[in-house]
Each structure stands twice: as C-alpha cells, then as structure tokens.
Amino acid sequence: MSKVLPVPLAIPVGAPHARIMGLGSYRPERVVPNSELVDAIDSSDEWIQQRTGIKERRWAGEHETVKFMAVEAARGALAAAGVTGEQIDAVVVATVSHLMQTPALAPMVAHEVGSTGAAFDVSAACAGFCHGVALASDMVRGGSARHVLVIGVERLTDILDVTDRGSAFIFSDGAGAAVVGPNDVPGISPTVWGSDGEKFDFITQTESWRDAIGTEDVAGSGVHPVLTMQGNAVFRWASFAMAKIAQETLDAAGIGIDDLDVFVPHQANMRIIDAMARTMKLPASVKVARDIATQGNTSAASVPMALHRMIEQGEARSGDLALLIAFGAGLSYAAQVVVVP
C-alpha cells in the first residue's frame, strides 16, 4: 500500500489534444544521379530505377552536418507553426547518424533555435520520427511540454559503404522537422508501434571495423561501422507486415481507408510503397508520397521530408488526414494518422 502523503502531489495538466502545427525540411545541395554510383557497385541506372524507383538522391557536402541540417529544418517548422524557439519545451531528435555517443544532438539543436527545454535523441532508425511524434503528442496531452520540436535528421553517407552493392544506391542525407502543440480537437491519432528484435540483423552495422583497427576498442580510432542490410528479407517484411500495421493504425484512429487523403510511408523503396498500397487496397484518390524518386532513403528524415514536400506542392492540404508509417532497423515501426497542418 502506498504511503499517505501529508499533501497530495501536484499532477501535470496537459492540453485536451495535440496536433502538428507546422513542418520544415532541409535537402542537401548536391544531387547525385545513379550514374555517379554505378561503377563502384557494378550496377546500372536502369537496374537501380527498376528495383527501387530511385533516380537520384541528395548527399550532404562538408558544411551540411547533422546539426546544420537539423537546425535548418527546425527553423522552417517553427516559422510554419508560428512558434518561437523560446516556446519550445522539448526537442526530440531522431537519428542514427549523429556519430557522437554523447552528448546527444538535440541539446545543440535546441540551443541554436533558442530553446532551453528538455532535449534528447531517439534511436529507432527509420521509424524514429514517428516515435518522436508519438512522444510529443503524449507530452503535450500529458502536460510535460506545451510545444515539442520533433526532428528526423540523417547524414547516412557517413556510415555508407559506397562499394556495397546491396545498399550504396539506397541511402541519402537530409532533415525534416515538425512542431507539435496543443489543440482543442484531436490532430494526432493513437500510435501503433512495436518491434521484432528477433530480426535485429536484417539492417545493422558491419563489424568490419574490428578488422580495420584490430581491436574491439573502437573509441578514438576514427573508424566506425557502416550500414549493412539483408535487402530481400527487409523487402518482404516491409511490404506485408507493414500493410497490416497500416490497417491497425486506421482502426486505432477510428477511420476507414476511404477517409484517408494522404499516405506517407517511410521512403525505403518505391516497390515497397507500391506493394503496401496494393495490399492495403488504397483508393486511387489517396495521394501517395513518392519522395524517394529524387531523394533516396533518408531513414528518420524520410517521413517529415516527404510530407513537407507534399504540402509545398499542394498535394497535401491543410485539414487532410494523413497516415504516417515508418519502419526499419530494429526491426522497429511506428504509425499514426495526423491532420495535415
């Protein structure tokens, strides 16, 4: 039995509901067409386009660090939301390519945008941004924050083996951000999320750095692992298991597939996007994010970047219902329906 306190503890008081108030993104300047990669992996532009739908991607230049890209995207989201950095009570950065074990990237980003709120990173790979939205929504409704800045940012080229035939053509760099804040009506549905850790080695990091430095002590060696992926196994899992999660998310949101306006799956591979849409029996009227064609797979940044582009191009309109679903290494996934700001 719990002890009776002399005075009851105050409880946090949150907003009735949460919503995404604004989005921003940053795309690196350098466009890298397939033709630039094919020699190193004995491939062709045709093969890459046919297997992935990727025509070109963006790779960051030296000055386009994870911090730089995250801050640029964050500034865009703050401006779109009409919220200042000082109003941000928490910054959540989803990333796997901030190559410093500590400190996290989030406090540096918070400082740059003028926030002294809580700041921490989330490591859920490609599913990281949707994890961040889930946390932000609960924080706003639970009373631990009024405005939360959620950022997905990756500089995957730092952990990419450009000679790996199985992954060199997929991954790229960029950042996307959203401000989540209070609302009178629901703007973010319950999140459906989970993991399948038995498949942790489907997408992981090579241990070749051990050979490179001849020791398990990687600290200070300047050598770090690179991404490696069992492409076929990931493809099958994503195409079918994630279509089921998409349906569960619509059920959790209390809407039918015909109510949906926009579908923003993680931009992993165009064939996975198409397979999911087919399995879900997505109506032709639903606009589907296809940012991958010119941006490649930016892991944690892919969902906010894709949604932001759809808003900029008028494909997603304010008030639309959008299903976000992200999945990747872990294996981890998270999905929610949001009202487009």
Binding residues for ligand COA (CB under 6 A): 41, 43, 47, 51-52, 126, 165-166, 170, 203, 229, 231-232, 234-235, 268-269, 272, 297, 328
Nearest distance from C-beta of residue 41 to ligand COA, angstroms: 5
User: CB of residue 329 vs ligand COA: minimum separation in angstroms?
Assistant: 7
Give the residue nearest to ligand COA (CB).
231
308 is catalytic: no
For residue 180, what are the β-bridge partners? 20, 148
- The answer to whether 179 touches 214, Cβ cutoff 8 Å, is no
Q: Which is nearer to ligand COA, 157 or 183 (CB)?
A: 157
Comparing CB distances to ligand COA, the nearer of 26 and 333 is: 333
**Alpha-carbon span 205 to 328, nearest angstrom:** 13
Q: Looking at 34, 183, 297, 308, which residue is catalytic?
A: 297
Q: How far is the CB of 13 from ligand COA (least distance, A)?
A: 38
SS3 content of the chain, % helix, strand, coil (to 5): 40, 25, 40
State the DSSP string of 170-183: TB-EEEEEEEEEEE
* 135 CB-contact burial (10 Å; exposed 0-12 / middle 13-18 / buried 19+): buried
Nearest distance in Å: CB 5, ligand COA: 48
CA-to-CA distance for 333 and 131, rounded, in angstroms?
8
* 130 noted as active-site residue: no
Active site residue 266: yes
CA gap 278, 59 in Å, rounded:
31
Minimum distance of ligand COA from residue 166's CB (angstroms): 5
Question: What one-letter code names the amino acid at 29?
Answer: E
Asked if 285 contacts 257 with a C-beta cutoff of 8 angstroms, the reply is no
Q: Which phi and psi (to 5°) does residue 190 adopt?
A: -55, 145
Catalytic residues: 126, 266, 297
